[in-house]
Amino acid sequence: MSQHIAVIGAGLAGLVCASRLSEAGFQVHVFDKSRGVSGRLSTRRGEGWQADHGAQYFTASDPAFVQQVQCWEQAGVVQVWQPELHVAGSTSRGSGAADVVRYVGAPSMTAPARALAAGLDVQLQATVQSVQRDQAGWRIQVAEEAARAACDRLFDAVVLAVPSPQAVPLLQACAPDLAAQALQAIMSPCWSAIARFDTPCDPGFDAAFVNEGALRWVARDSAKPGRPATETWVLHASPAWSEQHLEDAPEQVAEQLVQAFVALGGGEPCSVVAHRWRYAQAAVPLGVSFLHDAGLRLGVCGDWLANGTVEGAWTSGAALAAHLVQETGAPVQDANEG
Ligand SMILES: Cc1cc2nc3c(=O)[nH]c(=O)nc-3n(C[C@H](O)[C@H](O)[C@H](O)COP(=O)(O)OP(=O)(O)OC[C@H]3O[C@@H](n4cnc5c(N)ncnc54)[C@H](O)[C@@H]3O)c2cc1C
């Protein structure tokens, strides 16, 4: 009988872990609190426009991830993006950036994650509030009543694939040692604004690393492959500015980021909307691939363990899955049959 594994978090780390475990013969059940999969590889949509307001692009250096990206390219869910790049302010960050091969999801940043999720059992709008283990196995509690049936069973093992500040409260009761390790990772916030224009806005570049003032990065989202033509820019505030303005009203934030964009040579948009990522990127990752307590059968993966990038999230999830498969061998026992 198959073993049942609950994977909490349907970002890239959770999904690659889930799909590898599923391929190895485990019964995998994925839970995510959001309305869609993909986590911080995120796209916002409106009438005739869309914009990636989370991760902007990704790079690939790990051979296994390079191979995954090639598969995604062949499947048409990833394309190379070659923006006209600019570096504003000091050249300490972003100089030499033109040599890098940048990939984006196509037609949106969520496409690779959606490809991984196809065929998996994913329960959306399921906010996991607690994970508890007794001798029979793991029990999971979710906030939403509509999702309760999906976790009304025992699980043999649990994988947590959520940002560290969201992992800590789940780990504290069942695995205080892992919680203490997760507390060591530091995640920084990011205010992100999507600005739309009636007419073309041309500051002379498609994207810029900004090393002064409020901004850290700006990009013409509509110049990415496969996007609608409506002129749309994404503006990201620096971690320090985002921290300083964390509790500001989104309208105020949007106005200030637009002003900074205008100072860079951009224009005044016809509409702008701001989104706060409270846990955007791992400023201080743990520097390990994953965490795993073999006695508890509890694993933890995500970008904040590895190196705070899309590639890091994928390699962390894949490494944890390989470890679980190797350690467990052929799936043998079902906790509900126990
Ligand atoms: C603004 C911004 C810009 C970025 N730019 C880049 C970039 O250019 N290049 C790059 O490589 N990386 C970038 N990143 C980082 C990149 O997005 C992440 O490294 C990667 O997407 C993390 O994947 P993950 O699976 O580890 O976590 P996530 O994508 O965060 O997935 C975690 C999932 O867990 C879910 N979840 C959380 N708590 C619970 C709970 N209690 N119950 C159920 N579900 C839960 C969430 O809804 C989410 O879907 C950026 C991130 C942001 C926010």
In order, the DSSP letters of 198-255 are SS---SS-SEEEEESSSEEEEEEGGGSTT--SS-EEEEEE-HHHHHHTTTS-HHHHHH
Of ligand 1's atoms, which has the minimum distance to the CA of residue 128? 42
The pLDDT value given to residue 97: 67
User: What's the mean pLDDT in 151-172?
Assistant: 97
pLDDT band at 46 (very low <50, low <70, confident <90, very high): confident
319's enclosing H/E stretch is helix 310-328
Q: In the chain, count of helices (H) and strands (E)?
A: 8, 18
Of ligand 1's atoms, which has the minimum distance to the CA of residue 166? 38
Pocket test for ligand 1, best of 17, 29, 40, 289 (most atoms within 8 A of CB): 40
Of ligand 1's atoms, which has the minimum distance to the CA of residue 277? 53
Per the model's pLDDT, the better-predicted residue between 183 and 99 turns out to be: 183
Tell me phi and psi for residue 161, to 5 degrees.
Answer: -130, 55
- State what percent of residues in the chain have pLDDT above 70: 96
Whether the predicted pLDDT of 336 surpasses 50:
no
Query: What does the pLDDT look like over 286-323, one tens digit per residue?
Result: 999 999 999 999 999 999 998 999 999 999 999 999 99
The pLDDT value given to residue 2: 82
Query: What does the pLDDT look like over 167-206, one tens digit per residue?
Result: 999 999 999 999 999 999 999 999 999 999 999 999 999 9
How many A from CA of 277 to the centre of ligand 1? 9
User: What's the mean pLDDT in 28-49?
Assistant: 95
User: What's the mean pLDDT in 75-79?
Assistant: 98
How many A from CA of 202 to the centre of ligand 1? 30
How many A from CA of 310 to the centre of ligand 1? 8
How many A from CA of 188 to the centre of ligand 1? 12
Q: In whole angstroms, what is the distance from residue 171 CA to residue 162 CA? A: 11
Contact (CB, 8 A) for 144 and 125: yes
Tell me phi and psi for residue 19, to 5 degrees.
Answer: -70, -35
- Which domains are assigned to the chain? 1-42+110-184+285-338 (3.50.50.60), 56-108+186-283 (3.90.660.10)
Of ligand 1's atoms, which has the minimum distance to the CA of residue 126? 43
User: What's the mean pLDDT in 143-149?
Assistant: 96
Contact (CB, 8 A) for 50 and 229: no
Query: What does the pLDDT look like over 225-281, one tens digit per residue?
Result: 999 999 999 999 999 999 999 999 999 999 999 999 999 999 999 999 999 999 999
Paired with 158 in beta bridges are: 6, 298
Ligand 1: residue whose CA is nearest its atom 51: 55
* Mean pLDDT, the chain, integer: 94
Whether the predicted pLDDT of 150 surpasses 50:
yes
Per the model's pLDDT, the better-predicted residue between 336 and 324 turns out to be: 324
Whether the predicted pLDDT of 94 surpasses 80:
no
Whether the predicted pLDDT of 155 surpasses 90:
yes
The pLDDT value given to residue 149: 94
Contact (CB, 8 A) for 286 and 163: no
Contact (CB, 8 A) for 138 and 131: yes
Q: Which residues neighbour 214 within 8 Å (Cβ) at sequence distance 6 or greater?
A: 237, 238, 241, 256, 257, 260
Q: Is 270 left (phi over 0), alpha (psi -120 to 50) or beta?
A: alpha
The pLDDT value given to residue 77: 98
Query: CA 75, 67, 220 angle in degrees (round to 5)?
Result: 60
What type of residue sits at position 144?
A: E
User: Which of 38-42, 149-153, 331-335 is the least confident region?
Assistant: 331-335
The pLDDT value given to residue 152: 93
How many A from CA of 291 to the centre of ligand 1? 18
The pLDDT value given to residue 146: 96
Beta-strand pair 157-160/4-8:
parallel
